[in-house]
Structure 1
Amino acid sequence: MTSKEISLGIVKAVAILIANGLALFFLFKISTVLIYCIIAIVISLLLNPLVNFLKRKLKFKNTLAVITAILIAFLVISGFILLFVPLLLAQGKNLSLLDVTTLEKNYHILLQNITLFLDSYNVNTKQLIQSSKLSSFTTFEFIPNFINSFFSTLGNFSMGFASVLFITFFILKESESFYLKFKNILPDNQKEKILHSVKEINHLLSRYFLGLLLQLTIIMILYLVVFLIFGVENAIIIALLCAIFNIVPYVGPLIASVVAGLLVMTSGIGAGADFVNETLPTAIYVLIGMSLVQVIDNNFSSPLIFSKSTNSHPLEIFLIILMAGILFGITGMIIAVPFYTSLKVIGKEFFPENKVIKALTKNL
């Protein structure tokens, strides 16, 4: 091999690395759009049976069937949202009765007691707060920050909702056209394997989303039992809200606990209960009950449901979600199981003799 050939090889390798790096950077920059497309595809998979029913049984035209299906889904979602209106009105009324000065005083007393307790065990709370960047929580500075973050998230959600709705409409409307075009561009020697993979992925993802719905229903019922035991107002609505947060694995339950604690405390304030002796203990008991629900879900119901629906081992599911969360954050945790399941199907179809893939896909 001549020096010229070696130089050309090095230049070619560098060019390939740069091209791959630019491609990954481009995908990273448009990751939000990709997420919108993934969500739209999931919604399309869920609504496609309804669209087919409207076309076959009720003889709807394709466009009318798609619009009707999306409208029905929108009305169902709106109905769920309207369930929370009484809760928001009640909490708003409670907050209007809130004595901020007294609450802040109780809050500081609670922090002082915690500080004295930790100091008695030689724990430097000041250094701990500074190192963990929790100084804003020692005052009420976190409240305006939370409100600003909430409205910013609401704005992003509105834009995302409109984008997903638009993409979903055209995926459903042009699904047959997309399928034919997709089928025509496939190489003849791989066409059968690819189409079989797509069919199997659709089947497993449908089972996964049904399993997710079952998991959320179980969590909602268990939360409802906890809230009813401790006399929480609007127990059904709060249980539903907290169950929805569980869509995000591991992080969602923490958010649900914070939200439930805040709602319980504001309800107690609105009822005129003593904050230190009644409201705060009730909130603590509720959080303990929710923690027990999470123990049940994380160790029994969730692993069993997801392992059965995706034909994967519970430890396998846990590790995939954990790695996806470390690499891609909350979004990665949400899409980890569907994405991993799709990869397993593709691997089994195209690399059936690979020992690693064979071990991972033996139950598929």
Structure 2
Amino acid sequence: MSKRLVLLCLGILIAAILSWFFSTIVGYFIIAMVFSAVLQTPTNYINQIQIAGIQLPRAVAVMLSFSIFAGIIALFVLLFIPLVSEQIEFISVLDYNSLFSTIISPIDYIEKFLIEKKWVNEKEGFLMTELQNYFLEFFKDMKFGNVINQILDTTSTVLIGAISVMFISFFLLYEKGLFRRNIIALIPNAYFEVSISAIYKIEKLLSNYLFGLLIQMFSIFTLVSIGLIVSEVKYALTIAIFAAIANLIPYIGPILGASFGLIVSLSTQLQQTQDTAFSILAIKVIIVFLIVQFSDNLLLQPIIFSRSIKAHPLEIFSVVFMGAALAGAVGMIFAIPVYTILRVMALEFWKGYKEYRIFSKG
């Protein structure tokens, strides 16, 4: 084994260890690179605009791109305001006795069915007793002070992360590829060809992946919104937006989207519907999300994962759950892009080692 190969492996190991210890900063950089890649096109377009023969400064173009993005986020938030206000009003005038009767009816049915089939050796009322004990233990463990501290910690973490990502993204967009050029300038001549090939393939695969995710989100939004509108569900567009965004989290996202849709659709029409209509509405919403999920699994995901990043479904499954073990939901979202980068780098350098023998001389 040559000296250069040993030094390269040692450098990669040190970089991996530093990335692990400073994983938060590395995460900010990764998110900022994705965010700047999304805003790169509008920023370049705005930067070419001339007013009275004077081209807009790059910094102004970046700030305008940020403003457009903030405006889109604000529109999304505005869609949720009527829903939240109605939920608050609904809770304030809620008939809890009627709600309890509505909830207990299907539980009683399930309980009687289990007892009649002799699948359980319990008396009537055991399911409600178990549920009551569960919720009592749950709320007993929750303390008001702990909840407030958790909310404050989460809010501060998100705020610091958002500011850091925006700061890094600003300079990545403002420098217009300077960061990338500086990285390339550090590559030794012996590894230049294979490194450029790896960078090109990584950028291509990640851009294909991001474009595929946009198509997936738009498709899910369209299918969910059409299905819920046909089912006469209130706030169909709001539910569809949440479902499309939640779907970014592999495996868990569709469950979150369906749960949110079911809760919102039932809670907003709880007082206006009878028990039968209430059940029919729930079935309609479940059918809509099942159709969307089957369409996503059979059509959208194979196209995005297999064609965009050229990975086997078993690879994706393993990588996503490794990401979940390391960083929870955030790890699941970024597991595939990070895996794509590492895999391409490993394959390209191994190809260079085998074919070009770039590491043969010490």
TM class, shorter-chain normalised? 0.7 to 0.9
Measure, in 2, the Cα distance between the counterparts of 1:251 and 1:209. Answer: 19
TM-score (norm 2): 0.77
Of residues 228-237 and 106-115 in structure 1, the stretch that sits farther from structure 2 once superposed is 106-115
Could you list the structure 1 runs, at least 4 aligned residues long, displaced by more than 6 angstroms after superposition: 124-134, 137-145, 147-152
Q: Please say if residues 46 and 206 of structure 1, whose CA atoms lie closer than 8 Å, have aligned partners that are also in contact.
A: no
Cα displacement (A) at 1:259: 0.8
Pairwise mapping of residues 209-228 of structure 1 onto structure 2 (< 5 A)?
209-228=210-229
User: Which digits, 9 at most, give the CA deviation of each residue in 1:186-206, with x for residues without a partner?
Assistant: 222223332332232222211
Of residues 40-49 and 78-87 in structure 1, the stretch that sits farther from structure 2 once superposed is 78-87
Measure, in 1, the Cα distance between the counterparts of 2:129 and 2:345. Answer: 48
Measure, in 1, the Cα distance between the counterparts of 2:352 and 2:130. Answer: 51
Pairwise mapping of residues 342-357 of structure 1 onto structure 2 (< 5 A)?
342-352=341-351
Is residue 241 of structure 2 the alignment partner of residue 240 of structure 1? yes
Code of the residue aligned with 2:39 in structure 1: it is: L
Code of the residue aligned with 2:195 in structure 1: it is: I
Measure, in 2, the Cα distance between the counterparts of 1:172 and 1:33. Answer: 18
Cα displacement (A) at 1:140: 8.1
Cα displacement (A) at 1:57: 4.6
Q: Please name the residue that 2:269 is paired with.
A: 268
Q: Sequence identity of aligned pairs in percent?
A: 31
Code of the residue aligned with 1:163 in structure 2: it is: S
Q: Please name the residue that 2:360 is paired with.
A: none
Code of the residue aligned with 1:306 in structure 2: it is: F
SS in 1 for 2:187: coil
Task: Give the gaps of 5 or more residues in structure 1.
Answer: 1-15, 356-364
Pairwise mapping of residues 147-186 of structure 1 onto structure 2 (< 5 A)?
153=154, 156-186=157-187
Cα displacement (A) at 1:341: 1.9
Of residues 285-294 and 156-165 in structure 1, the stretch that sits farther from structure 2 once superposed is 156-165
Q: Please name the residue that 1:95 is paired with.
A: 91
Measure, in 1, the Cα distance between the counterparts of 2:44 and 2:226. Answer: 39
Is residue 118 of structure 2 the alignment partner of residue 111 of structure 1? no
Of residues 179-188 and 225-234 in structure 1, the stretch that sits farther from structure 2 once superposed is 179-188
Measure, in 2, the Cα distance between the counterparts of 1:102 and 1:231. Answer: 23
Q: Please name the residue that 1:3 is paired with.
A: none
Cα displacement (A) at 1:210: 0.8
Q: Please name the residue that 2:4 is paired with.
A: none
Q: Please name the residue that 1:188 is paired with.
A: 189
User: Which digits, 9 at most, give the CA deviation of each residue in 1:118-175, with x for residues without a partner?
Assistant: 3444347999999999922899889999x86778655543333222212211222235
SS in 2 for 1:186: coil
Is residue 192 of structure 2 the alignment partner of residue 200 of structure 1? no
Give the count of matched residue pairs.
333
Cα displacement (A) at 1:257: 1.3
Q: Please say if residues 46 and 56 of structure 2, whose CA atoms lie closer than 8 Å, have aligned partners that are also in contact.
A: yes
User: Which digits, 9 at most, give the CA deviation of each residue in 1:214-270, with x for residues without a partner?
Assistant: 01111112212321232101212211221111010110111111111110121112x
Pairwise mapping of residues 8-23 of structure 1 onto structure 2 (< 5 A)?
none
Q: Please say if residues 216 and 300 of structure 2, whose CA atoms lie closer than 8 Å, have aligned partners that are also in contact.
A: yes
TM-score (norm 1): 0.77
Taking structure 1 as reference, are residues 340 and 29 closer, same or farther at Cα in structure 2, changes over 3 Å only?
Answer: closer
Q: Please say if residues 107 and 128 of structure 2, whose CA atoms lie closer than 8 Å, have aligned partners that are also in contact.
A: no
Measure, in 1, the Cα distance between the counterparts of 2:238 and 2:179. Answer: 40
Taking structure 1 as reference, are residues 118 and 140 closer, same or farther at Cα in structure 2, changes over 3 Å only?
Answer: farther
Of 47, 55, 59, which aligns to 2:47? 55
Of residues 34-43 and 183-192 in structure 1, the stretch that sits farther from structure 2 once superposed is 183-192
Aligned Cα root-mean-square deviation (Å): 3.8
Measure, in 1, the Cα distance between the counterparts of 2:220 and 2:136. Answer: 30
Q: Please name the residue that 2:298 is paired with.
A: 299
Measure, in 1, the Cα distance between the counterparts of 2:175 and 2:67. Answer: 17
Q: Please name the residue that 1:122 is paired with.
A: 119
Q: Please name the residue that 2:7 is paired with.
A: none
Code of the residue aligned with 2:342 in structure 1: it is: L
Measure, in 2, the Cα distance between the counterparts of 1:173 and 1:85. Answer: 34
Measure, in 2, the Cα distance between the counterparts of 1:332 and 1:253. Answer: 17
Q: Please say if residues 95 and 266 of structure 1, whose CA atoms lie closer than 8 Å, have aligned partners that are also in contact.
A: no
Code of the residue aligned with 1:44 in structure 2: it is: S
Pairwise mapping of residues 283-298 of structure 1 onto structure 2 (< 5 A)?
283-298=282-297
